[in-house]
Structure 1
Amino acid sequence: MAETSLPESANIKLDLGDPSLVINRELSWLEFNARVLAEALDERNLLLERLKFLAIFSSNLDEFFMVRVSGLKQQLELGLPGRALDGLRPQAQLDAISHRIRPLIEAQMLGLREQILPRLAEEGIHLCRYEQVEALPRQQERLQRYFEEEVFPVLTPLAVDPGHPFPYISNLSLSLAVLVRNPTSGKELFARLKVPPLPRLVPLGVPNHFIAIEEVIGAHLDQLFPGMEVLSWHPFRLTRNSDLELAEEEAEDLLLTIEESLRRRRLGQAVRLEITPQMPAHVRTRLLEELELEEQDVYEIDGLLDLTCLWQLVSLDRPDLKERPFAPRVPPEFASHGDIFALIRHGDRLVHHPYDAFEATVERFIAAAADDPNVLTIKQTLYRTSGDSPIVHALIRAAENGKQVAVLVELKARFDEKNNINWARALERAGVHVVYGLVGLKTHMKGILVVRREKGKIRRYVHIGTGNYNSKTARLYTDFGLFSCRPELGADLTDLFNFLTGYSRQSHYRRLLVAPARMRDQFLSLIEREIELHSSDQPGRIIAKMNALVDPALIRALYRASQAGVKIDLVVRGICCLRPGYPEISENIRVISVIGRLLEHSRVFYFGNGGSPQVFIGSADWMPRNLDRRVEAIVPVEEPRLRDELIAFLELVLADNRQSWELQTNGAYTRRQPAAGEPEVSCQQTFIDRAMQP
């Protein structure tokens, strides 16, 4: 990452208008994706794990262009004068993005071509070119049959000439630009051929030998253009703006509005064109003109376009080339108690996924509530859930059992809108009260409220977590969840659900920190308290783990705390706009990022509080969108043994020297390494090992 000019004097006003005090948001995200790529290029990782990280890197870039780059381009088109926190205008950011991405893509393709594919070949896994197949008549015959039976019937070549306008190219679709010559007139002609949505890597009939489907199509183009001379073919891939823009205030039916917006998503503005270096200049120019793109929007890929296809190889049955799978444990207290409500009545319970089994804790809680005759009401938020969700089935069963069930399904969860619409309709058909979210706000909080009648009285049970109610991602993302029946938490969650489903304007809560009500102010107060209580005898201490740190007010507060001598450790997986380690401004702040086989997703906040520490978990990152435009909930973990458990967790994460990176003052990250004689510490592997202990 290019260095940014830093102020020569520390005696500067703490004003985020000074671009030297923050790191650009978009460039910080690119550094996160660079750390993902580094895992793919790290020879300590097993081969198929490295392929997985290559695929994730590509998928991440797709979303970055669809959302972030497209947003900057829209700012340019509308002539908006906005600047980023570091002072960069939209065009300057686009220039910097392009400059940073190109070497990352080159490193990705070089690593695949020269490191990973040769190693895979040594292991008997081959990604072949068609020239290699031509020397094998039996395989060539097999591909010919596959093309004629499976591929040819779904191909539609589209001529481009005065009588045939340039066709619409859909988002993230792979296409072939085909050049043919009319043997009678000698005229060169252009056609576009969309690669159909079939398995991208075609098995060759020999175990673990594959070929890209575009090579199969390219080798049989004569069957699509009979009577023509096929000159050449060149793959290309287009990315479009896919961020939904909703006029929510004018929408009479939010569900129908989002469905219509989903249909429009595929028609978004073009923002990126991926091609191979072999594409002729005149074809490249034509594509740019037809797609209304500029040269800066073109990315040459020396190899396969769209490496998300590598997931096919990751799924191969080669356990020797993957991380050893682990079975999440059933927490002993959950295993020994048949009545989950009685278990929670005996004290708050903290679960840590995926090390603690999601199905034996969260899913069990909802299933028990659905079937318990004493349960009167279940209320829950759903931001993202799995395709065949046991949780949704339990909620449907609860409604069928006559319980009052209210579910807020957030239809605006990006790229999960269609899935959530389907679940919302299924819930409604079962008699569940479904709310589609609030106008102008996304509901991102993770909460369940269960109201139960016990001995003639009402008791409320809650679950508040950091992760989605999704059984699939609960095996891949690290998250915490708190079970409790504390009356004040039940009352807070009742008030919060009334805000979500009714007309309540509740802004004060007993224990919860709630956005957009007062969460930012409450976090600022916690930071200011550390400053006030800091002394040489009792130093101030802040540890905050989150996915992103962008909010200007909180960054300023952390700088003030650092200047006051408060020691601050930030564990930020992705974007971090705070610049650590700057003398007299942020020299007491350290920022690390953990990238491993599991996605670090939990948000945990620790404040020393003069020797009486407070610890919180919840759904919010320190970003303006979370604090101003989303409904979020952060819960204090007050049971001493659970609080100590979270503190020990944070200390282990900070000790990680295997999967962690440290942010430098100039915005670059360096991989942490064990010192001489120091043992290697991986926080994720430590928790996996603990989960696997009998």
Structure 2
Amino acid sequence: MSDKVLAPDLYINRELSWIAFNERVLVQALDERTPLLEQAKFSAIFSNNLDEFFMVRVASLKAQVEAGIEKLSEDGRTPIEQLHAIREHLTPLLHKQQEHYRSRLKSQLQGHGAHLLDYEQLNERQRLWVDNYFQTAIFPVLTPLAVDPAHPFPFVSNLSLNVAALIHDPQSGQRQLARVKVPQKILPRFVTIPTDLAGGDCEPIHTAVPLEQVVAFNLDLLFPGMSIEGHYFFRVTRDADLELRDLEADDLMIAIEQGLRKRRMGGEVVRLEVADEMPQDVVEMLMEGMSVEEEDLYRVDGPLGLDDLFGLMGIPLPQLKDDSHSGLTPAILGRAQRSMLEDGSLKEEEFESIFSVVRRRDVLLHHPYDLFSTSVEEFINQAADDPLVMGIKMTLYRTSKDSPIIAALIRAAENGKQVMALVELKARFDEDNNIQWAKHLERSGVHVVYGVLGLKTHTKIVLVVRKEKERLRSYVHIGTGNYNSKTSRLYTDLGLLSARPELGQDLVELFNYLTGFSKQQGFRKLLVAPVSLRKGMENLIRREIEHAQQGRGGHIRAKMNSLVDPGIIALLYEASQAGVTIELIIRGMCCLYPGRKGLSESIRVVSIIGRFLEHSRIFWFGNGGNPEVYIGSADWMPRNLDRRVEAVTPVEETTLREQLERLLQVYLDDNRGAFDMQSTGDFTQRHPDGTERNSQLQLIDTWKKGVPAHNE
């Protein structure tokens, strides 16, 4: 841990900084320049992000309040003060999101022939079709649950959408509440209606009605002989933070499986969302039945659970979406594709293995512009099938459900190679997926380990050991992102393929640290958390301070997901006061105040939100005219520096370093997806004063032209 102490008024609350980040996501949804269906996608991302925020961060603060913990945050707030501030900042954003959906998204989609109708707007033919759909596809799976002295309040599962129905018995005169769960996990949230039922002169391209309305307007079939006085929608969010006590768990996998069962049931309710028109007496029944406090109640003027807007991306209106992008095979690996050899598009004498390429020079990969499948996956696939490869070791933090990499590791084990996979079972919300992969790998003969006790293994590394001319040579991949085929198309990430002996030896020793009892205290090239990363980064920043003090113009450029660590922030303030120029590109949380007189005048912070999630981490230090640049898996957060296993590698080949320098400049020059952080902590969106410079579109164009020098 750093010994730097930061005054509370010099640190932005991390929860409020996260809300500011999610607001920037919402801004993209509200921006008229964003294609219409992409607006729906950004709105869905905003909601999905918020669900996880409540399940983890808000739940943690509420747990502290209930436990009587008064520990102050870095900015000097108690947990209850943070909860109040969160609500205050969120309320206007939720209003903006709903106003956008009601007033702009629906009406503008209708102008393009995509009709999102309410049930009451359906014509007679559409209503007959929808009611028949209810009886055949929905009614059989519904379970209406009454609430009365004979029926205790039913358990309402996490993130479920529900109908609260007021039922009146005409014989007894009794009035009671019933709950019906909307099956939106097994059925589409928006029920598609045949377009030929629309009537009129112009047939729409797409017509749909919300699933919950289909259920609500057919409640009479669920309660025959009863009168339906009213129906109202509600949704709950529960504590889903999976607490694990490694030292108390004899078997980590068993402990996590038990924790997952509890999560699926859900912990305490941390948010109750109700339709704005729900009568107060019904609200009070729900609050009493689920032990919800007033501060956890959110009235919503519109549909609940807008994360389901993701489903609108299936509407066949490509002109309302971003142009498709699939990435390209890196030119330097163009003749290293075994699939081209097998299909005859490459002659045997033209083919060279990926190992031959990497022996010749390091390869820098930038996804999604560089195809993941023809670079990282090709590397692991060739390693699995190459008879000269003796062993493969890699870390798996999050991977896709149909992972080609998992298949390659299994094939490698079947081919008699020594294969080790470190599967991080504590990757939040991916625990179940990782447990299944771990079991599958073990059954296939892969040696599976779960990392270092008390630490989460977040590093993204692969080590391939190959026998060449009676000696062993190591090939490595060190990246910023997960080995996940799906997210490689959606996230921007960097990776380095190298056969440098020092990096190979570092990874050999790092894997020994991860799988055995090694107490490694340092590495040749890598900066590794929790061993040497914090100290290494602090020393690099201090070196820039020395350069500035000696008149050599200290300069730092860094790109990451979040900047939260108080010690690093204090050191950056010190560097600014010494005259170091500091340019930060931070997508998410930033707890530092830039541009403050006498404190951080030379610090500039830019945040970029675009079609791809900016996930790469780059750390560049001017070093008095002899720059050094690093990439890796760690942000400047206490968890990355102190409580996780992370690896950050230097990129030493000149052409690759220069490529990263150009990349940083492209981001800094962005005037479309970029937001400037003000000295107050607020963000202002940039608007082009002439030519629009969208960094991600520029990079797509650059890769299409084959500009990255090392790929030629």
**Do the structures match in fold with TM over 0.5?**
yes
Q: How much does 1:68 deviate?
A: 0.3
Determine whether 1:320 maps to 2:309.
no
- Runs of at least 4 residues off by over 4 Å: 14-17
Q: SS of 1:574's equivalent? A: coil
Aligned to 2:692: 680
Q: How much does 1:311 deviate?
A: 1.3
Determine whether 1:311 maps to 2:314.
no
Question: Per-residue CA shift, 1:551-586, capped at 9, x if unaligned?
Answer: 111001000000000000011100000011110110
Deviates more, 1:286-295 or 1:340-349: 286-295
Residues 137-536 of structure 1: pairs in structure 2 closer than 5 A: 137-196=124-183, 197=185, 198-206=187-195, 207-265=205-263, 266-337=265-336, 338-534=352-548
CA distance in 2, matches of 1:244, 1:537: 51
Q: SS of 1:336's equivalent? A: coil
Instruction: Flag structure 2 segments of 5+ consecutive residues without an equivalent.
Output: 196-204, 337-351, 707-712
Determine whether 1:52 maps to 2:64.
no
Deviates more, 1:523-532 or 1:304-313: 304-313
CA distance in 2, matches of 1:226, 1:339: 70
- Among 82, 85, 88, the alignment partner of 1:99 is 88
CA distance in 2, matches of 1:94, 1:493: 43
Q: How much does 1:536 deviate?
A: 7.5
Instruction: Flag structure 1 segments of 5+ consecutive residues without an equivalent.
Output: 1-13
Q: 1:527–1:556: structure 2 CA closer, same or farther, 3 Å change rule?
A: same
Q: SS of 1:190's equivalent? A: strand
Q: How much does 1:238 deviate?
A: 0.2
CA distance in 1, matches of 2:372, 2:319: 27
CA distance in 2, matches of 1:322, 1:644: 33
CA distance in 1, matches of 2:325, 2:393: 32
Query: Percent same amino acid among aligned pairs?
Result: 55
CA distance in 2, matches of 1:382, 1:581: 39
Amino acid aligned to 2:608: V
Q: How much does 1:15 deviate?
A: 7.3
Question: Per-residue CA shift, 1:31-55, capped at 9, x if unaligned?
Answer: 0000000000100111111110010
Q: How much does 1:537 deviate?
A: 4.9
- Asked if the contact 1:326/1:692 (under 8 Å) is kept, the reply is no
Amino acid aligned to 1:100: H
Aligned to 1:691: 703
Determine whether 1:18 maps to 2:7.
yes
Determine whether 1:35 maps to 2:39.
no
- Among 87, 100, 108, the alignment partner of 2:97 is 108
CA distance in 1, matches of 2:491, 2:315: 22
Amino acid aligned to 1:688: I
Deviates more, 1:138-147 or 1:615-624: 138-147
Q: 1:148–1:21: structure 2 CA closer, same or farther, 3 Å change rule?
A: same
- Asked if the contact 1:334/1:361 (under 8 Å) is kept, the reply is yes
Q: SS of 1:656's equivalent? A: coil
- Asked if the contact 1:382/1:409 (under 8 Å) is kept, the reply is yes
| Equivalent residue pairs, number | 677
- Asked if the contact 1:201/1:210 (under 8 Å) is kept, the reply is yes
TM-score by length of 2: 0.94
- Asked if the contact 1:16/1:86 (under 8 Å) is kept, the reply is no
- Asked if the contact 2:166/2:177 (under 8 Å) is kept, the reply is yes
Q: How much does 1:693 deviate?
A: 3.2
Aligned to 1:570: 584
- Asked if the contact 1:16/1:22 (under 8 Å) is kept, the reply is no
CA distance in 2, matches of 1:239, 1:626: 27
Could you say what the CA RMSD is over the residues aligned between the two structures, in angstroms? 1.2
Residues 660-679 of structure 1: pairs in structure 2 closer than 5 A: 660-675=674-689, 678-679=690-691
Q: How much does 1:273 deviate?
A: 0.5
CA distance in 2, matches of 1:536, 1:51: 52
- Asked if the contact 2:565/2:637 (under 8 Å) is kept, the reply is yes
Amino acid aligned to 1:306: G
Q: How much does 1:117 deviate?
A: 1.1
CA distance in 2, matches of 1:625, 1:78: 23
CA distance in 1, matches of 2:86, 2:684: 20
Question: Per-residue CA shift, 1:59-109, capped at 9, x if unaligned?
Answer: 000000000000000110111121111101100000000001110000001
Q: How much does 1:439 deviate?
A: 2.0
Q: SS of 2:334's equivalent? A: helix
- Asked if the contact 2:549/2:578 (under 8 Å) is kept, the reply is no
Q: How much does 1:185 deviate?
A: 2.2
TM-score by length of 1: 0.96
